[in-house]
A and B are shown apart, each in its own frame.
Chain A
Amino acid sequence: MDILNVQLQDGALAAVFFVAVFVPALAGILLGMFFRSNRVANVVASLCIVSCISGASTYFLWNAGIDLSYTLPLPSAAGQYMLSIDQLSATMISFSSVIFMLIVVHVVKSTSDSGCKYSALLNTLFLACFSCMAADTALVLLLSWEMVTLVTFLLSKNGDNEKARWLFFVIAHIGGMMLICAFVYISSVAGTQILSQWRDLGPSLGDMTSTALVLMIVLGFGSKLGLIPFHAWMPNLYASAPIHTTALLSTVCSNVAILVLMESIFTYIGVSPSMSWAAFAIIALAAATALWGAMESLVQKEPKKILAYSSMENMALVVLCMALGAVYIGESPVMAKLVLIAAMLHTMNHAVFKSLMLMTIDTVEDCTGEKNIGNMGGLSKTLPVLSVVAIVGVLSMAAIPPTNGFVSEWLMIQSIMGADLESKAMSLLMPLALAAVGICGMMMAASYARLYGFVFLGRPRSEGMKKPRPMKKGTVFPMAVLALLCLAMGFFATVFMDVLTSGIESATGIPSGPGYRSVMSGELLPLLLGVTVTAVLVLLLWAFRKEKRKARKTRTWGCGEKLDSNMQYSSIGFSQPLVKVFHPFYGDTSVVKESGDKDNKTLVMEFSEPFVKYLYRPVAAIVSVLSERIGRIQTGNIQTYFGYMLATLVVALLAVRLL
């Protein structure tokens, strides 16, 4: 036994681990490239699942004290291909692998998007996400982040959605460019590419530079997370891409972004007091994003777009928490720890309930053929199992106790209010942040009530909803697991928080001194509250179980009329009062459409993204005008081109000489 141990700990186990993660997925990619049949597609997906399971073991291996690092013996022009896993990334890798696996299981069971190529790309995406989280050199980090973007771009192909895809591609690359600049600059200053040797580089970078770098990194990852104004790609891509792509993009890829963002700010660069204005700017941006996402989600017509804006809101709250962490870290490190735990926990919770809800909505669309929430309704009578799963997801998105969504929002509010800051300006920010979180939370709750209410409750509003096809066999399994996770992470939140704590401590350098529990109110509260809710509910159910007569079923009361499917509240009407209250933000929403008939006009509500209208379109117009002007110098005459080259060379040489 001893011999075995010695042998295993000699780096061999790490090699076995990386082989177990990479080889099945790579084999899957190869298979997927050369075959086309559906059976092979399932094999490819199964190989991905095998890789995911190996990935899920990361945390346990790390916990067993095994040094998980590996260098690929391949030469490269810039640095080495090194992987190394620390505690925080081990936690996130394990967790994300589980989510990834459940999504792949759903792919296999629903088979709506499968096909060898799709499955092979899923394998690639898993490897890209894994190596991005495990990266130990800037080279690997940037390469795999670029891979994530490219693969999600390829995965999102679905019929005629070129516009949405390309918008995503362009915005993600604007962000990617910022990241490349930032990381290349940092590695040039640090003198090494190896990320585990980057530690608090702030002083050597200088105050201004490090603040600028932090902003660049936040915006760079923000382009994927949907920070204003980079969110423009989200609603359309969510609505048009295959659901599993969306689910992966919104959960696993966001986890990657948040993890690397966290490590970049708190580990690599390190927070200095001079960054506080940047932290304010990020807090303001994140709060604006969250409010914007909440408001827009209320008026969306497609359930998938509601979820897109909800992702935006959730990720903005996570970024807000991180910025708060940066504000706190100098003055009260314990609070910083708590707020960062809240951020990471919310990221994990979001991954669980968002993938659950996206799968649910996919099942709804698949079974009924409807995409517009205005035509839905009444599904809980015909698909009762799905509606049970969905209600759990909706409750946790809306942060209703005792689900996991509640726990992370509870932690957020505590950490906003609990801080005792020296500076008055900073303390003044706290009530405003609290107000933003409070309003967002309630708006999102209204939006989720609308989502559930108009999909599952009421009377069916179209033929497809009246007689939905039964759910595909086995699709409920991953959803049920996720729903159980929603509850389990709500009841046993402290377990997850404890796991996150030491990871966050080592990543941020906060001393483990006073634990986060010392500043947290009621450390066992999630469990106690959960148990009490369940107990009281069961008690009431038991005490009033006796029914003298069986409940009688009748028609819904409709003032004596027989109600048809349109004689109920509509989803767009549901959010009208809120639109009216917040009308300055929505702009002019009602449009009168004239048809050829003189007496026939229709009033429709249209909500357009002002960011697209007032920011993206003008910029695009300017760019195309400019490129047309520049196009004039392209005469097609080869001598002119030689002239250009000569001029460029002279200018470049002069510039190098003079600077």
Chain B
Amino acid sequence: MLMQAAALILVSPLVAGIIRKFKALMQNRVGASVFQPYRDLLKLFRKETVVSENASFLFRAIPLVCMTSMVLLAAMTPFVYSGVAAPYADVIAMVYIFTMFRFAMVLGGLEGGSAFGGMGSSREAMMSVLIEPALLISIMTLSAMTGAGFDITDISSSIIGEGAAAISPALLLAGTSFLITMVAENTRVPFDNPDTHLELTMVHEGMLLEYSGKGLAFMEMASMLRLTIFMALFGTLFFPWGTAVTLAPLELATSVVTIAIKMLVIAFGIALLESTIAKMRVFRMPNMLTASFALSLMAMISLYVL
């Protein structure tokens, strides 16, 4: 199970590379190799660190805190097998670890006193107020729906156990909300553009502007890992069919294939979204985010009403 966490961490730059490749192909470009993110990270690790003279000790610690929170999450995400390595696999704790990541990022944006960082932090704070509750509620819907309590490991197995009967309005609504949350939380188009530093509409990249070298490598790695964790969560919790519930070799092999297909589909979807839709104006984002929040709330309510 530790191996699955390690696999998740190792595969995350590849996922980012695949999305970029898909995008390039859709835009009639050849694009960089899917392994390019690994090379980028390695290069960043070797580069010199430049720190703003206004930054405090916290600035050096934030990349580590972000990476730590993502490693913790990777250890509690079912990927190929529904069990996880972490002894703290609790759905509420999961949402709060995401909050920890965000909080560190927001503080990091305010370090150095750059206007870009401040802007990024400010917008991130706005989005988080709408995103995190939606995330919390949609995941809680799953745990309430399956009666699995708060243990992540029980959710996928009990949905698989129910078979097609598990496809209820609650699951669909919560899944949709989770998808919107995934796009927003990972600051992809239409909420944010991950490829640019200088647009005035940026959120996530604004906060990263002051990092360099190893710190930047950690931050980049953490955001790639975050996307991969979200994809894995969608593939194993909201649409868990195919995920191995026992450690039988055959089941594990099918599980590897199915999760690969699921993640490729999501990656394709993200690439398609980014190639066809323009980025939203900042103050139109709340509409979309509120929709996600409302969907998750409806999912939860439908559990009690239906």
Residues in A lying within 8 Å of B, measured CB to CB: 377-378, 380-381, 384, 387, 391, 395, 398-401, 406, 409-410, 413-414, 417-418, 424, 427-428, 430-432, 434-435, 438-439, 441-443, 445-446, 449-450, 452-454, 456-459, 521-522, 524-525, 528-529, 532-533, 536-537, 540-541, 544, 547-549, 551-558, 563, 567-570, 573-578, 580-581
Complex Cα distance A395/B57, Å?
A: 16
Contact partners of B92 in chain A: CB under 8 A: 410, 413-414, 521
Nearest CB in chain B: distance from A647 CB, A: 61
Q: Contact at A453–B96, with CB atoms within 8 Å?
A: no
A-B interface pairs (CB < 8 A), number? 238
Q: A445-B99, A536-B68, A556-B210 are in contact. Are A453 and B106 (CB under 8 A)?
A: yes
Decide yes or no: A551 and B50 within 8 Å by CB, A442-B132, A536-B72, A574-B121 being known contacts: yes
Contact A456 B56 (CB under 8 A): yes
Shortest Cβ distance from B116 into A: residue: A557
Contacts of B65 in A (CB 8 A): 537
| List of B residues within 8 angstroms of A445 by Cβ | 99, 102-103, 128
| CA gap between A552 and B52 in the complex, in Å | 8
Whether A525 contacts B125 in the complex (CB less than 8 A), given A378-B54, A573-B118, comes out as no
Question: B106 → chain A, closest Cβ, in Å?
Answer: 5
Interface size on B, residues (CB 8 A): 76
Asked whether, in the complex, the Cβ of A434 is within 8 Å of the Cβ of B300, the reply is yes
Could you tell me if B137 and A438 are in contact, using CB atoms closer than 8 angstroms?
Answer: yes
Question: A442 contacts B121, CB within 8 Å?
Answer: no
| Cα distance A441–B114 in the bound complex, in angstroms | 27
CB distance from A258 to the nearest CB of B (A): 23
**Interface pairs (7), CB distance under 8 Å:** A413-B92, A417-B140, A431-B301, A446-B106, A544-B214, A567-B115, A581-B283
Report the minimal beta-carbon distance from B84 to chain A, rounded to whole angstroms: 12
Chain A residues positioned under 8 Å from B119 (CB to CB): 569
Residues of B close to A544: CB separation below 8 A: 64, 214
List residues of chain B with CB within 8 A of the CB of A380. Answer: 56-58
Nearest CB in chain A to that of B56: its residue: A380
**Docked pose: A377 CA to B107 CA in angstroms:** 13
Instruction: Identify which of B57, B100, B137, B301 contacts A428 (C-beta below 8 A).
Output: B301
CB B89 to nearest CB in A, in angstroms, measures 8
What residues on B are CB-neighbors of A417 within 8 Å?
Answer: 140, 143-144, 150
B123-175: which have CB < 8 Å to A? Answer: 123, 125-126, 128-130, 132-133, 136-137, 140, 143-144, 149-151
Q: How far is the CA of A557 from the CA of B46 in the complex (A)?
A: 22
Interface residue B297 (Cβ < 8 Å from any Cβ of A): yes
Interface string of B31-61 (1 = CB under 8 A from A): 0000000000000001011111111111010
Answer whether residue B122 sits at the interface, using C-beta atoms and an 8 A cutoff: yes
* Given A384-B56, A413-B92, A541-B64: 4 more A-B contacts, CB < 8 Å: A401-B96, A536-B68, A574-B121, A577-B282
Residue-by-residue, is B67-98 near A (CB-CB < 8 Å gives 1, otherwise 0)? 11101100100000000001111101100110
- Bound Cα distance from A377 to B113, whole angstroms: 9
Tell me if B232 is interfacial: C-beta within 8 Å of chain A.
no
One of A378, A443, A540, A555 near B67 (C-beta < 8 A): A540
- Whether B240 sits at the interface, judged by CB under 8 Å, is no
Among A452, A457, A536, residue most surrounded by chain B Cβ atoms (within 10 Å): A457
Q: Residue B103 contacts which of A409, A449, A569 (CB distance < 8 angstroms)?
A: A449
**Nearest chain A residue, comparing its CB with the CB of B105:** A449
* B96 x A580 contact (CB < 8 A): no
Q: Are B122 and A575 interface neighbours, CB within 8 A?
A: yes
Q: Do residues A521 and B54 form an inter-chain contact, with CB atoms below 8 A?
A: no
Q: Which residues of A contact B250 (CB under 8 A)?
A: none
Contact A435 to B133, CB < 8 A, known contacts A400-B96, A417-B144, A457-B58: yes
- Closest residue of chain B to A579 (Cβ to Cβ) is B126
List, in ascending order, chain B residues with CB within 8 A of A563's CB: 113-115
Q: How far is the CA of A529 from the CA of B46 in the complex (A)?
A: 31
Scoring A551, A556, A563 by chain B CB atoms within 10 A of each residue's CB, the highest score goes to: A556
